[in-house]
């Protein structure tokens, strides 16, 4: 993985250097300022999950009607899957190389990830290559959903605001975060701590990190919870929500909790479908654009 990233970065740097050289070898004209936005998500190959991306796209374009918006997916697996379905999406590196070709001078790259994990840091590394080579006059990366304490407070508000209205206080809300081996996995437990100060029966677990479902199950059983709403804490309600959270297999969260005597109600809506979460990402984009 790391090795592949290094090769990609090196190739990238070469592309950028050549492109820059070909521009600067012209008549010495200074390029006119051209600002662009690149939205970068992990990606999803599930058609029903596209509503999340469409919602962000619509909101960003409404906030910045005069700035061209481009998209890229960080997951090469998702990009390959989509390519087989005839849908083409660029990696951030290719998308940026194309933007360079289109003579953008200032680019705000907005991460649509939830935490600053591996994908986000890879993105920072790639954009740095474009910066140091002099490809763009300015290129900045906007923070993912959860970065500052203010983001945490706003995310707590967004979670509480979007809990299904019919849910009673004694019933739990269990959010499924993605999780990672990256140190920023700690954001999930930190967010659970903060949300529970306001509503003690909201839980945040991870499908690929701590806190795992067994830990969440134990917490629910200690409190004698009988019913739980399961919600993805990911931008899209994609493969993880449909299979790991609510699937019929016996290791899905729904199966595990049902077996423990907890009635489960899955909600198939990603965080990017809720305006209160999207506004956090857009404010981060606004922060990046404010430097241009």
Find the catalytic residue in 178, 182, 240, 284: 178
Question: What are the structure tokens assigned to 291, written together?
Answer: 């430097």
Q: What is the C-alpha separation between 202 and 147, in angstroms, rounded?
A: 21
Give Cβ neighbours of residue 266 (< 8 Å, ≥ 6 apart): 229, 230, 231, 241, 245, 246, 254
**Catalytic site residue 178?**
yes
- DSSP bridge partners of 284: none
Residue 44 Cα to chain centre, angstroms: 11
Cα distances (angstroms) measured from residue 180 to each of 85, 177, 207, 217, 230: 28, 10, 9, 20, 20
Q: What is the C-alpha separation between 147 and 170, in angstroms, rounded?
A: 31
Give Cβ neighbours of residue 11 (< 8 Å, ≥ 6 apart): none
Q: Supply the residues annotated as catalytic.
A: 178
């Amino acid at each position: 993985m790391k090795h592949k990233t290094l090769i990609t970065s090196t190739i990238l740097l070469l592309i950028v250097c050549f492109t820059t050289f070909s521009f600067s070898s012209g008549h010495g004209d200074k390029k006119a300022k051209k600002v662009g936005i690149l939205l970068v998500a992990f990606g999803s190959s599930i058609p029903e999950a596209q509503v999340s991306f469409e919602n962000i796209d619509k909101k960003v374009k409404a906030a910045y009607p005069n700035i061209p918006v481009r998209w890229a997916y960080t997951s090469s697996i998702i990009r390959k899957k989509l390519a087989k379905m005839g849908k083409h999406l660029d990696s951030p590196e290719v998308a940026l190389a194309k933007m360079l070709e289109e003579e953008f001078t200032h680019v705000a790259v907005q991460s649509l990830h939830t935490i600053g994990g591996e994908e986000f840091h890879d993105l920072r590394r790639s954009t740095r290559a474009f910066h140091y080579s002099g490809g763009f006059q300015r290129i900045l990366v906007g923070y993912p959903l959860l970065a500052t304490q203010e983001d945490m407070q706003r995310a707590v508000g967004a979670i509480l605001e979007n809990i299904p209205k019919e849910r009673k206080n004694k019933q739990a809300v269990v959010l499924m975060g993605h999780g990672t081996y990256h140190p920023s996995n700690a954001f999930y437990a930190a967010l659970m701590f903060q949300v529970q100060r306001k509503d003690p029966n909201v839980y945040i677990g991870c499908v690929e990190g701590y806190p795992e479902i067994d830990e969440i199950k134990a917490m629910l059983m200690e409190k004698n919870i009988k019913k739980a709403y399961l919600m993805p804490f990911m931008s899209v309600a994609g493969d993880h929500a449909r299979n790991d959270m609510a699937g019929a297999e016996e290791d899905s969260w729904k199966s595990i909790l049902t077996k423990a005597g907890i009635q489960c109600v899955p909600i198939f809506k990603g965080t990017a479908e809720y305006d209160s979460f999207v506004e956090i990402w857009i404010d981060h984009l606004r922060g990046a654009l404010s430097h241009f």
